[in-house]
Amino acid sequence: MSTLFISDLHLNANEPELIKLAVDFLKTKAIDCKKLYILGDLFNIWLGDDLIAEEFMPVIEQLQLLHQQGIRTYLMVGNRDFMMGKEVANLMGAELLGDACVIDLYGTKTLLLHGDTLCTDDIAYQRYRRWSRNKLLQWLFRHMPLKYRQGLANKIKLKSRQQKQTKSTVIMDVNASEVSRVMTKFDVTQLIHGHTHRPATHTLEISGKSATRIVLGDWHSEASYLQCGEKQQQLVDPRISN
């Protein structure tokens, strides 16, 4: 029985085909696994657990079904859906993870992250991240009427879109020293993350030991996932030839 990892589906109500792709993946692929890890940005935007779009219900129901079948689902938030909380996780039958999580993946100590915290060269993003993760601000946001939440989210999205045009692809990728630092700190030889939308398996060296960094891909017209088993692991993405 395998363990599956996905991230960056960016589900949104305006893309029913993407929602269908996610439902099909859960129905046909995830149903055979032991554990499913969702490493952030399942949703393109999340304005609070009290505002669950009707369009997302097929995905949530499918996750509930997996839970009933005894498949354990773990949910990490990303930079777009970080307002997800315990309520929606419970509804999905999933366990909400913190920003960094260490697991034993078939004998390999593995660190799981969304990946945005590794982009330390993106100073403007990291500054924005600090204030948007402030618990008091989040509490205030949660208690605002939908109209205001939507308005603030639109302002952030617009600023982000404008600023991204001025940032180089290097700035928006992970910082190699930060990768080494966190892998050393958590004493792991394997890291799995998403966020950068650059699916790949990188080999590196951590404290003289050979290590691996696996980057999950974002979803478009096909599913992108990492499948790990006792003996092998495979990153499945249309951009990668296996």
CB of 40 to Mn ion, least distance (A): 6
Q: How many CB atoms lie within 10 A of CB 213?
A: 22
CB of 110 to ligand LP5, least distance (A): 22
CB 79 within 8 A of CB 119: no
**200 is in the binding site of which of Mn ion, ligand LP5, none (Cβ under 5 to 8 A by kind)?**
none
CB of 7 to Mn ion, least distance (A): 8
Window contacting ligand LP5 (CB under 6 A); options: 13-21, 66-74, 135-143, 185-193: 135-143
Burial annotation 151-163 (CB, 10 A radius, 16+ → b, else e): eebeeeeeeeeee
Would you call 179 helix, strand, or coil by DSSP? helix
Q: Give 10 or 103: the residue with its C-beta nearer to ligand LP5.
A: 10
Instruction: Please report whether residue 78 would count as binding Mn ion according to CB under 5 A.
Output: yes
Instruction: Please report whether residue 119 would count as binding ligand LP5 according to CB under 6 A.
Output: yes
Q: Which residues contact 76 (CB under 8 A, 6 or more apart)?
A: 7, 37, 38, 39, 40, 96, 97, 98, 99, 101, 112, 113, 114
The residue at minimum Cβ distance from ligand LP5 is 124
Q: Give 78 or 93: the residue with its C-beta nearer to Mn ion.
A: 78
At 98, phi and psi to the nearest 5? Answer: -80, -175
**157 is in the binding site of which of ligand LP5, Mn ion, none (Cβ under 5 to 8 A by kind)?**
ligand LP5
| Binding residue (CB under 6 A) for ligand LP5 from 124, 200, 204, 236 | 124
Window contacting ligand LP5 (CB under 6 A); options: 16-24, 30-38, 78-86, 206-214: 78-86
For residue 241, how many C-alpha atoms fall within 13 Å in the half-sphere facing its CB?
A: 0
10: left (phi over 0), alpha (psi -120 to 50) or beta: left
Instruction: Please report whether residue 195 would count as binding Mn ion according to CB under 5 A.
Output: yes
At 110, phi and psi to the nearest 5? Answer: -130, 135
At 200, phi and psi to the nearest 5? Answer: -175, 165
CB of 198 to Mn ion, least distance (A): 12
The residue at minimum Cβ distance from Mn ion is 195
The binding site for ligand LP5 (CB under 6 A) comprises 45, 79-80, 83, 116, 119, 122, 124-125, 128, 132, 137-138, 141, 152-153, 155-157, 159-160, 163-164, 167, 172
The binding site for Mn ion (CB under 5 A) comprises 41, 78-79, 195
